[in-house]
């Protein structure tokens, strides 16, 4: 734990200036390079670091969150520390609150730069035969799934469900024969741009379902009954941005600051755990469904009459069920918890990784989420999975080694099959 010395106060630039610089960096990516010498991993005088703050009381934790810094921790409770992104210029804000910190990652943009260099190197050396051995960009994901449709035309079809703010197509893929008329299971991924493992795992689940239909009696029996819709890339603009300007971008690309798509749905829109400040990472947008990306997911769920929903995020190894916006138990709490138990068992089976089961609100309040909407408006059994890694290890959890893609996919796939069977 770094206990700041008095000299830190003297060295520090004014808090407001520091916050402005960081916010500009977080939102404008490379454009901010002049100010901080780079959000892109280039050397800079004041790198973005990940620090752990033991805020101790609910009031102090709330005060830290009110600074509108980027909080990466999934567990929010007074007895649990917060992992937040700060520049050196922002540290005085913590000092003002009388808080110390422990540095977990010195320079998160250096991690991103190393990742980028590795991906470039892999492109140069391999022919891409092992597709899930590395992270892929939006175009590669779209072509991979397009090839899957071509390979299994009677089983897999694609639908353009909408277009992003910047006009990119958003696709969903239906897996199952036309004769499957049960209530569909809907799977979504990458509402949050920087959670790359969600894009890879949902693409991989589509891939496996299509291939295993031919070889596994269990998968065939499931899909003959229950079609599975997969929308792996719900935030293509944000994702594209993470491949270029800013690896840690979370929101969509509305205006300068973007909207948190997982706060833009209509159940309890505007409530606790969402922000009306555009710069905040949990900015909910001007109105519920102000964003084309969230509308696309809503319309698909409603037009298909889904019976179950699974939304993939990262990270923390958690399995969450409604409600997210309130601690009040859902009317179907017992059933959601019982099915959740089966999903947690399925997630554990492939590699003995624990995924902790709890309600969203038990973790922290979040209003306007996709899975609260799917449960509240369509009656679907709805869950959010926070994929690997587990939290609290002092890692930069968004930059997950590519060797973890396949084992994480094993877990995601097991959860999808278990939910399909439970429905
Ligand atoms: O905050 C979110 O949108 C989700 N976590 S993430 O780190 N992927 O951004 C979790 C939403 C689940 N609901 C609650 N925690 N209440
Ligand atoms: Zn997320």
| Tens-place pLDDT, residues 111-135 | 999 999 999 987 766 555 699 999 9
Q: Quick one: which ligand is closest to 391's CA? A: 1
Q: Quick one: which ligand is closest to 194's CA? A: 2
356 counts as catalytic: no
363 lines ligand 1 (CB under 6 A): yes
364 lines ligand 1 (CB under 6 A): yes
| Cβ–Cβ < 8 Å for 309, 383 | yes
Average pLDDT on 185-203 reads: 98
Structure tokens at 251: 């929101």
| Cβ–Cβ < 8 Å for 233, 170 | yes
Average pLDDT on 323-331 reads: 98
Structure tokens at 342: 């089966």
192 lines ligand 1 (CB under 6 A): yes
Residue whose CA is at the smallest distance from ligand 1 atom 15? 360
Q: Which of 24-38, 125-139, 184-198, 393-407 has the lowest mean pLDDT?
A: 24-38
Residue 47 or 123, more confident: 47
pLDDT of residue 259: 98
Nearest 5 degrees, angle CA 58-CA 84-CA 407? Answer: 110
- 107 vs 366: CA distance, rounded Å: 29
| Cβ–Cβ < 8 Å for 60, 290 | no
Which residue is catalytic, options 90, 356, 386, 411? 386
2: which strand partners?
101
- 98 vs 114: CA distance, rounded Å: 34
pLDDT value at 83 more than 50: yes
Q: How far is CA 283 from the centre of its chain?
A: 15
| Cβ–Cβ < 8 Å for 18, 89 | yes
Which atom of ligand 1 is nearest to 314's Cα? Answer: 8
- Strand order in 82-86's β-sheet? 70-71, 82-86, 49-53, 102-105
| Tens-place pLDDT, residues 13-24 | 222 222 223 333
How does the average pLDDT of the chain come out, rounded? 87
324 lines ligand 1 (CB under 6 A): yes
Burial class of 366 by CB neighbour count within 10 A (0 to 12, 13 to 18, 19+): buried
Closest CA to 244 of 63, 119, 73: 119
């Amino acid at each position: 734990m770094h206990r700041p010395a008095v000299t830190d106060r003297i060295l520090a630039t004014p808090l407001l200036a520091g916050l402005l610089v960081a916010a500009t960096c977080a939102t404008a990516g490379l454009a901010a390079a002049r100010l901080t010498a780079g959000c892109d991993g280039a050397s800079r005088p004041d790198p973005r670091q990940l620090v752990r703050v033991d805020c101790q009381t609910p009031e102090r934790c709330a005060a830290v969150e009110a600074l509108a810094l980027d909080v990466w921790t999934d567990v929010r409770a007074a007895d649990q520390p917060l992992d937040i992104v700060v520049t050196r210029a922002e540290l005085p804000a913590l000092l003002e609150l009388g808080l110390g910190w422990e540095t977990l990652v010195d320079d998160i943009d250096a991690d991103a730069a190393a990742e980028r260099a590795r991906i470039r190197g892999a492109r140069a050396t391999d022919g891409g035969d092992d597709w899930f051995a590395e992270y892929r960009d939006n175009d590669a994901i779209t072509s991979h799934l397009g090839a899957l449709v071509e390979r299994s035309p009677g089983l897999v079809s694609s639908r353009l469900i909408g277009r992003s703010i910047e006009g990119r197509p958003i696709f969903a893929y239906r897996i199952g024969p036309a004769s499957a008329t049960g209530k569909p299971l809907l799977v979504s991924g990458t509402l949050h741009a920087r959670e790359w493992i969600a894009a890879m795992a949902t693409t991989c689940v589509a891939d496996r379902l299509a291939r295993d239909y031919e070889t596994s009696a269990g998968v065939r029996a499931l899909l003959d009954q229950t079609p599975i819709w997969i929308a792996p890339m719900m935030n293509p603009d944000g994702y594209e941005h993470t491949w270029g300007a800013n690896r840690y971008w979370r929101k969509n690309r509305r205006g300068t600051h973007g909207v948190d798509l997982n706060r833009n749905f209509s159940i309890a829109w505007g409530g606790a755990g969402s922000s009306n400040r555009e710069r905040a990472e949990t900015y909910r947008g001007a109105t519920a469904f102000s964003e084309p990306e969230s509308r696309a997911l809503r319309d698909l769920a409603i037009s298909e009459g889904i019976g179950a929903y699974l939304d993939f995020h990262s990270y923390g190894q958690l399995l969450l069920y409604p409600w997210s916006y309130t601690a009040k138990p859902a009317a179907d709490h017992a059933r959601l918890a019982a099915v959740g138990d089966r999903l947690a068992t399925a997630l554990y089976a492939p590699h003995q990784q624990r995924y902790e089961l709890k309600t969203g609100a038990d973790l922290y309040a979040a209003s306007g989420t996709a899975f609260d909407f799917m449960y509240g408006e369509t009656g679907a059994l709805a869950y959010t999975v926070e994929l690997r890694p587990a939290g609290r290890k002092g890692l930069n959890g968004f930059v997950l080694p590519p060797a973890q893609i396949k084992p994480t996919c094993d877990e995601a796939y097991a959860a999808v099959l278990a939910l399909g069977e439970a429905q």
